[in-house]
Amino acid sequence: MRILISILRKEFIQIFRNKVMLPFIFIVPIIQMVVLVFAANLEMKEIRFYTVDLDLSETSRKLRYEFSASPFFRDQGTGFSLDEGEEMLLRDKADLVLVFDEGFEEKLRKENHSSIQLLINAINSAKAGLVNAYSEAIIRDFNQDVRLEWLGLPAFEAIENIDVSYSYWYNPELNYKIYMLPAILVILVTIIGMFLTAMNLVREKEMGTAEQINVTPIRKFHFIIGKLLPFWVIALFELAFGLTIGKIFFGLPILGNLALLFGFASIYLMAVLGIGLLLSTFSETQQQVMFLAFFFMLTFVLMSGIFTPVESMPVWAQKVNIVNPFAYFMRVIRMILLKGSGFHDIRHEFVSMFIYAVSILSLSVWRYRKIH
């Protein structure tokens, strides 16, 4: 026990003396939380639309005003040529072009139907899908209002309406920052647990201190625990610090049990620490381990469901995601914080992560070689 305490003391002193690692642990996470929570946003509130009005009717003007009144759209002007609208798209000055053909209102009055052409910039498919959905909603509502206004109703006939009241559970205001903040915390905690652990272990190799430690009577498990435990503690501190910042500055709801969250985070960190240790056994320099860690981090993050649900991925990708620790923690932290889920709700993820942590740590310790 005395040997382990000495190693831990040495590691904490080494971490706090490192002028590069210290800001990376305490300053960078704050900057990333503030920047990424606002930047990593899929909400569309500045959709630029341009109108090509060949009809010049009251109905076409009213519909254009409906788009202008929406908080999601910004009017970029009106033209009278389809070529002008296409040029606005090509020059990236508009995301949407509304095209009203000549006789739009007349055909609507006489034949009870007409058509509008929507030209959407679909370079970004996700953005294009949202633009199309918002546009269809505005046109559908406008169509209902026009039909009621034009068709009219007899004095004795009462209009029958179905009023729909929407209630959004777990995020009533549809605040995207609330959805993204837990995901950003997962990434920050993982950077501490996996990336810095691997870097610290390989740094010992580069400096030559690993060989010096290997010829001492220190046992392998002493050395491994001494190397991993400080980053386990720091990562949990980062999680607590991030939750505090989220609660104070972003109004992050914390509906579930924090003890349950930290319990799962503790097991999760054992898994990512094991991955960091495993990567260090395959690397001889910090540059090598950086490339390896970057590859796994990028793959894990993109497949974790940070932006889109895992359920929307192809079946083969969902099966591959079994080995992605990010996906487990990303789901659990949102369930606990936003839904107030208990252990019964996350028991599958809890058991899976425990098995994952034991397996990856066992493999990492087996891969580590200590010279006697």
Q: Are 32 and 81 a contacting pair, CB within 8 Å?
A: no
Q: How far apart are CA 306 and CA 300, in angstroms?
A: 10
Angle 193-199-202 from CA coordinates, rounded to 5°: 130
Domain boundary among 151, 184, 202: 151
Q: Which is nearest to 305 in space by CA: 169, 195, 186?
A: 186
pLDDT at residue number 313: 85
Domain boundary among 102, 120, 151: 151
The answer on 354 and 206 residing in a single domain is yes
Residue 197 included in any domain = yes
> Could you tell me the CATH number of the domain that includes residue 53?
3.40.1710.10
Q: How far apart are CA 326 and CA 292, in angstroms?
A: 16
The answer on 236 and 122 residing in a single domain is no
The domain in which residue 292 lies consists of 173-367
Residue 17 included in any domain = no
Residue 247 included in any domain = yes
The answer on 224 and 357 residing in a single domain is yes
The answer on 227 and 343 residing in a single domain is yes
Q: How far apart are CA 146 and CA 59, in angstroms?
A: 9
pLDDT at residue number 151: 60
The answer on 210 and 120 residing in a single domain is no
The answer on 200 and 103 residing in a single domain is no
At CB < 8 A and 24+ separation, what contacts does 250-255 make?
250/37, 250/177, 250/178, 250/181, 251/175, 251/178, 252/178, 252/181, 252/182, 252/337, 253/178, 253/337, 253/338, 254/337, 255/336, 255/337, 255/338, 255/339, 255/340
Q: Which is nearest to 329 in space by CA: 312, 308, 346?
A: 346
Alpha helices per DSSP H over the chain: 2-17, 21-26, 28-39, 58-69, 82-90, 104-111, 125-151, 176-190, 197-207, 209-214, 220-249, 258-281, 286-302, 315-320, 325-334, 343-367
Q: Are 333 and 353 a contacting pair, CB within 8 Å?
A: no
pLDDT at residue number 332: 96
The answer on 190 and 147 residing in a single domain is no
50 φ/ψ angles, rounded to the nearest 5 degrees: -125, 140
Residue 27 included in any domain = no
The answer on 131 and 181 residing in a single domain is no
For residue 15, the number of C-alpha atoms closer than 13 Å in the C-beta half-sphere is 24
Residue 3 included in any domain = no
Q: Which is nearest to 231 in space by CA: 269, 265, 186, 187?
A: 269
Domain boundary among 151, 182, 201: 151
62 φ/ψ angles, rounded to the nearest 5 degrees: -60, -45
Residue 34 included in any domain = no
Transcribe 221-281 into DSSP letters: HHHHHHHHHHHHHHHHHHHHHHHHHHHHHS-----S-HHHHHHHHHHHHHHHHHHHHHHHH
Helix (H, G, I), strand (E, B) or coil at 128: helix
Q: How far apart are CA 274 and CA 359, in angstroms?
A: 9
The answer on 180 and 90 residing in a single domain is no
Q: Are 49 and 67 a contacting pair, CB within 8 Å?
A: yes
Note down pLDDT in tens along the chain; length 372 residues: 777 777 778 777 777 777 777 777 777 777 877 777 777 666 677 899 999 999 888 888 999 999 998 888 999 999 988 899 999 999 989 999 999 999 888 888 888 788 899 999 988 877 888 899 899 989 988 887 877 776 654 444 445 556 667 777 888 877 888 888 999 899 989 988 888 888 888 887 777 766 666 666 677 777 788 888 888 999 999 999 999 988 988 888 999 999 999 999 999 999 999 999 899 888 888 888 888 888 888 889 888 888 777 887 888 888 888 999 999 999 999 999 999 999 999 999 999 999 999 999 999 888 876 433
Counted domains in the chain: 2
pTM over 0.75: yes
The answer on 147 and 91 residing in a single domain is yes
Residue 294 included in any domain = yes
Residue 97 included in any domain = yes
The answer on 182 and 126 residing in a single domain is no
The answer on 136 and 208 residing in a single domain is no
